[in-house]
């Protein structure tokens, strides 16, 4: 049963871009339809921005950067971020509903981001002192006074995916507002509405014109124009490896600083001494959360042989109880996939998996009342090996692949036998196993007896083909700054 919700007034019509404090249509006049993935019905349209719109936004961001903004004091910036915090939290029910309608995640999940959003904004509000200037000791002869400062890098281009815009945008706006940078954000063409609503709220909270700009559009148009633009000093990208490669090439013209948060094929290792009452639902939801459209999804579940068969049976049973449906239904645990294209992609991998391994649960598209949306059952494959396609390629759907192992060395070897290095998990009661294996996994984040926990003050990033650059923590803020030395011969 879907509870009746009043559609937010924001939903519907054609949205414009925010450039230099003004809402404007795409220069081409073209738009992109916004589809509700739960029903396949229209939610209106967004602007199909392109190179001209990106150019206008970058110029506005440059003007704002060169004005008063980059000289605001830490105190002024902290006050602004705390005001943004309050305004955004006051509107959080509406934002969660917009996100659910736009990208399908259950309302329970999007509403649950309230506390995280509060933490992330408070974290960045606490970082406004990072842009500093201080005298530095020197070893020069004579009467030299040396100063070292951290200066904002300038205009930041943000490019984010559709799987969690309500999270992704703060990783750009947060450090930009904390350091005195300005930003042009290009959200994903499949999920831009919550970003546009937040852009309105930022203006309401008093963010000066041009400091935050949003240009919606396709990656090949607006995205590549942002990556190429010589007025952009830094690109913060979250998305797939293929797109990252083209951004790295496009950004070479003016040597942009890059932050790359890319895909994953994360291992989740269940040792024989694990508490299976925790490990079964924990590992399952480590894959199924957000319909598997999570970069850190622990999609390769390695299970030690003594508990392998029991684990597979329990995982299959658990999977059949997971409620798939419209995100507006309070009972729903996982919503639809983002688009017809994504559904097709996941179905393709399920077909490949059925030829490679044994299908234990799921595998089908939902029909009947759900036929209009892009729903797929959570799916388990067992009897798999780590070299199979379903164990090597990022599916970005609720598909778990279970692979047996014998001992710790084999588990670590298999876990690391992937081009990715974003995250990993392990389940054990043995402290020594927890310590050794968590150190040995090549990944930016490892969870022990839990999965998916994220603290903005600790941060998050990847290694290998999962990218580089750290989101959250002091490192993130400092990557929006560059160090400068001043030598004064007095
Ligand atoms: P994608 O790479 O197709 O798109 C991401 C963004 O890049 C979108 O805004 C898109 O419009 C834009 N884009 C596409 N082509 C472009 C181009 N040529 N130049 C510039 N921009 C372009 O990725 P996706 O399918 O939307 O998202 C899923 C991917 O994102 C997965 O690989 C997932 O693992 C990854 N992801 C990573 C993290 C992380 O923090 N590591 C978080 C979420 C998602």
User: Ligand 1, atom 34: nearest CA belongs to which residue?
Assistant: 263
**Residue 14 beta carbon below 6 angstroms from any ligand 1 atom:** no
Q: Which of 371, 350, 372 is nearest to 361 (CA)?
A: 350
Fold match, 14-263+466-487 / 267-455? no
**Residue 247 beta carbon below 6 angstroms from any ligand 1 atom:** yes
Tell me the torsion sign for CA atoms 466, 469, 474, 477: negative
The third-level CATH classification (topology) of the domain covering 14-263+466-487 is Aldehyde Dehydrogenase; Chain A, domain 1 (3.40.605)
pLDDT surpassing 80 at residue 341? yes
**Residue 461 beta carbon below 6 angstroms from any ligand 1 atom:** no
**Residue 424 beta carbon below 6 angstroms from any ligand 1 atom:** no
- Residue 12: partners with Cβ closer than 8 Å, 6 or more residues away: 43, 44
**105 by DSSP, 3-state: which?**
coil
pLDDT digits (tens, 9 = 90+) for 475-488: 999 999 999 999 99
Grade residue 167 by pLDDT with cuts at 50, 70 and 90: very high
- In 145-240, which ranges are continuous DSSP H helix? 165-168, 170-179, 193-205, 224-228
Contact 267, 298 (CB under 8 A): yes
pLDDT digits (tens, 9 = 90+) for 416-430: 999 999 999 999 999
pLDDT surpassing 90 at residue 317? yes
Annotation marks residue 261 as catalytic: yes
The DSSP bridge pattern shows strands 42-47 and 155-159 to be unpaired
More confident residue, 3 or 144: 144
Average pLDDT value for residue range 149-160: 98
Compute the mean pLDDT over every residue in the chain, rounded to the nearest whole number: 97
**Residue 470 beta carbon below 6 angstroms from any ligand 1 atom:** no
Residue written as token pair 């633009």: 229
Contact 87, 51 (CB under 8 A): no
Report which ligand 1 atom has the smallest distance to the Cα of 261: 41
pLDDT value at residue 300: 98
**Residue 334 beta carbon below 6 angstroms from any ligand 1 atom:** no
Task: Count the Cβ atoms, other than its own, within 10 Å of residue 431.
Answer: 9
Query: Concatenated DSSP letters for 238-304?
Result: ES-HHHHHHHHHHGGGGT-EEEEE-----EEEE-TTS-HHHHHHHHHHHHHGGGG--TT---EEEEE
| CATH number of the domain located at residue range(s) 267-455 in this protein | 3.40.309.10
**Residue 263 beta carbon below 6 angstroms from any ligand 1 atom:** yes
Average pLDDT value for residue range 243-261: 98
Grade residue 6 by pLDDT with cuts at 50, 70 and 90: confident
pLDDT value at residue 114: 98
Average pLDDT value for residue range 322-347: 97
Average pLDDT value for residue range 271-300: 98
Grade residue 3 by pLDDT with cuts at 50, 70 and 90: low
Q: Using CA atoms of 362, 364, 188, 83 in order, give the dihedral in degrees to the nearest 10.
A: -50
Whole-number Å distance, alpha carbon 236 to ligand 1 midpoint, is 11
Q: Which of 175, 177, 176, 155 is nearest to 257 (CA)?
A: 155
pLDDT digits (tens, 9 = 90+) for 83-102: 999 999 999 999 999 999 99
Average pLDDT value for residue range 67-79: 97
Average pLDDT value for residue range 14-41: 98
User: Ligand 1, atom 38: nearest CA belongs to which residue?
Assistant: 295
Whole-number Å distance, alpha carbon 58 to ligand 1 midpoint, is 21
pLDDT surpassing 80 at residue 38? yes
- Residue 66: partners with Cβ closer than 8 Å, 6 or more residues away: none
What is the distance between the alpha carbons of residues 338 and 340, in angstroms, rounded to a whole number?
Answer: 7
Q: Which of 208, 230, 268 is nearest to 445 (CA)?
A: 268
* Listed range (32-36, 285-289, 413-417, 453-457) with the worst mean pLDDT: 453-457
Contact 471, 127 (CB under 8 A): no
Grade residue 1 by pLDDT with cuts at 50, 70 and 90: low
Grade residue 245 by pLDDT with cuts at 50, 70 and 90: very high
Grade residue 5 by pLDDT with cuts at 50, 70 and 90: confident
What is the distance between the alpha carbons of residues 459 and 261, in angstroms, rounded to a whole number?
Answer: 12
User: Ligand 1, atom 6: nearest CA belongs to which residue?
Assistant: 161
pLDDT value at residue 2: 59
Q: Where are the domains of the chain?
A: 14-263+466-487, 267-455
- Residue 445: partners with Cβ closer than 8 Å, 6 or more residues away: 296, 422, 423, 424, 454, 460, 461
Best mutation site among 157, 167, 219 for ligand 1, i.e. most ligand atoms within 8 A of its Cβ?
219
Please give the share of the chain, as a percent, with pLDDT higher than 70: 99
């Amino acid at each position: 049963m879907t509870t009746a919700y009043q559609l937010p007034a924001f939903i519907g019509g054609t949205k414009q871009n925010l450039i230099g404090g003004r809402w404007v249509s795409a220069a081409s006049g073209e738009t992109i339809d916004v589809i509700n993935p739960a029903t396949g019905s229209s939610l209106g349209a967004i602007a199909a921005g392109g190179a001209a719109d990106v150019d206008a936004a970058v110029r506005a961001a440059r003007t704002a950067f060169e004005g008063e903004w980059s000289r605001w004091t830490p105190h002024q910036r902290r006050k602004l971020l705390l005001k943004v915090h309050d305004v955004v939290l006051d509107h959080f029910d509406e934002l969660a509903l917009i996100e659910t309608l736009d990208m399908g995640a259950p309302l329970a999940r999007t509403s649950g981001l309230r506390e995280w959003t509060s933490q992330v904004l408070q974290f960045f509000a606490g970082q406004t002192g990072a842009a500093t200037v201080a005298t530095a000791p020197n070893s020069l002869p004579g009467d030299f006074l040396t100063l070292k400062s951290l200066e904002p890098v300038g205009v930041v281009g943000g490019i984010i995916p559709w799987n969690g815009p309500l999270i992704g945008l703060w990783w750009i706006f947060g450090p930009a507002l904390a350091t005195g940078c300005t930003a042009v954000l290009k959200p994903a063409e499949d999920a831009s509405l919550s970003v546009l609503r937040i852009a309105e709220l930022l203006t309401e909270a008093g963010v000066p014109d041009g400091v935050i700009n949003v240009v919606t559009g396709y990656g090949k148009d607006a995205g590549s124009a942002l990556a190429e633009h010589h007025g952009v000093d830094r690109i913060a990208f979250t998305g797939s490896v293929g797109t990252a490669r083209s951004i790295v090439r496009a950004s070479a013209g003016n040597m942009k600083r890059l932050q790359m948060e890319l895909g994953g094929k994360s291992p989740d290792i269940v040792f024989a001494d694990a508490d299976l009452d925790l490990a079964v639902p924990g590992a399952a939801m480590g894959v199924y959360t957000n319909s598997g459209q999570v970069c850190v999804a622990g999609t390769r579940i390695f299970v030690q042989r003594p508990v392998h068969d029991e684990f597979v049976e329990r995982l299959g049973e658990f999977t059949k109880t997971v409620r798939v449906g419209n995100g507006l239904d309070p009972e729903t645990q996982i919503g639809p996939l983002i688009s017809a294209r994504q559904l097709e992609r996941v179905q393709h991998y399920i077909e490949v998996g059925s030829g490679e391994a044994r299908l234990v649960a799921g595998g089908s598209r939902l029909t009947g009342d759900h036929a209009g949306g892009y729903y797929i059952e959570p799916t388990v494959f067992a009897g798999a090996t780590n070299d199979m396609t379903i164990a090597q390629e990022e599916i970005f759907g609720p598909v778990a692949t279970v692979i047996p192992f014998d001992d710790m060395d084999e588990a670590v070897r298999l876990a690391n036998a992937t081009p990715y290095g974003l995250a990993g998990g392990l389940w054990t009661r043995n402290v020594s196993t927890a310590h050794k294996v968590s150190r040995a996994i090549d990944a930016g984040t490892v969870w022990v007896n839990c999965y998916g926990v994220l603290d903005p003050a600790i941060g998050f990033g990847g290694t290998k083909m999962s990218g580089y650059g750290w989101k959250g923590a002091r490192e993130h803020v400092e990557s929006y700054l560059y160090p400068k030395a001043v030598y004064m011969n007095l």
